[in-house]
Amino acid sequence: MNLLDTVLNFIFPPTCGFCNKMREGYLCQDCKQKITNSNFYLNQLDFYQNKDNFIEEHFYLFSYVEPIRGKILQYKFDDKAYLANTIYEFFMNNEKLYGFLKKYDIIIPIPISSSRKRERGYNQSELLARKISKMANIHIETQVLKKAKNNQPQSSLNKEQRRENVKNVYKVQNEVKIQNKEILLLDDIYTTGSTANECARMLKQAGCQTVGILTIASDLEKYQKRKE
């Protein structure tokens, strides 16, 4: 820990993101053990083999249920950027995750629009991607994939509408940086996969080799059941 971190921890003592009690870190051992022993801690790798899917594989830690759902929403919308530290604790020292990460050359957080970033003060996916980048020694790129325009929030749409809603929303620049590279996207939630798949399509069109995605949680199974 550097001097700045020491000073900040003295002024703003770390608090567990789940029980909100002052601790030595941002996730206490009691909460970590309780959550990792729960039925919503999946620590799962899914493979996708579909001609319409440009994502090869997907690693995620949780099912998108409470209390994870609430924490992710706080992290995104309630100005609680410090929850990146709490969430990161679940990624640290995860041997299964390390095995997944080592094949990738570059990590790219799913971008948000510049206006939304100004409104929130940060891109929640980028904060976590920077931590994962350092942990796994993977180069991070935030100047390749850009969100060119605001679109309607995906949460209010069905599967077909989501697919249409993300078309031509993202663009790739500095294409030379991803030529023949293995790219890992990072996002907070995976629901239908429309956003990630559109980003992967654009990246592959620009010349990268393969694309995987890492997310905090997946709502895919729940979403499919809800639509049946």
Q: What is the pLDDT of residue 57?
A: 96
Residues 121-147 have a mean pLDDT of 95
pLDDT above 90 (res 67):
yes
pLDDT category at 113 given cuts 50, 70, 90 is confident
Q: What is the pLDDT of residues 52-65, one digit of tens each?
A: 899 999 999 999 99
Region of poorest pLDDT, from 3-7, 11-15, 164-168:
3-7
Q: What is the pLDDT of residue 118?
A: 87
Q: What is the pLDDT of residue 143?
A: 95
Q: What distance in Å separates the CA atoms of residue 217 and residue 228, rounded to the nearest whole number? A: 21
| Residue pair 56/46 in contact by the 8 Å Cβ criterion | no
pLDDT category at 91 given cuts 50, 70, 90 is very high
Q: What is the pLDDT of residue 226?
A: 43
Residues 189-194 have a mean pLDDT of 92
Q: What is the pLDDT of residue 9?
A: 56
Q: What distance in Å separates the CA atoms of residue 139 and residue 80, rounded to the nearest whole number? A: 26
pLDDT category at 153 given cuts 50, 70, 90 is low
Q: Over the chain, what is the mean pLDDT?
A: 87
Q: What distance in Å separates the CA atoms of residue 86 and residue 193, rounded to the nearest whole number? A: 25
Residues 32-46 have a mean pLDDT of 95
* Of 13 and 179, the one with more pLDDT: 179
Q: What distance in Å separates the CA atoms of residue 53 and residue 189, rounded to the nearest whole number? A: 17
pLDDT above 50 (res 225):
no
Q: Can the peptide bond before residue 153 be classed as cis, meaning omega within 30 degrees of 0?
A: no
pLDDT above 80 (res 107):
yes
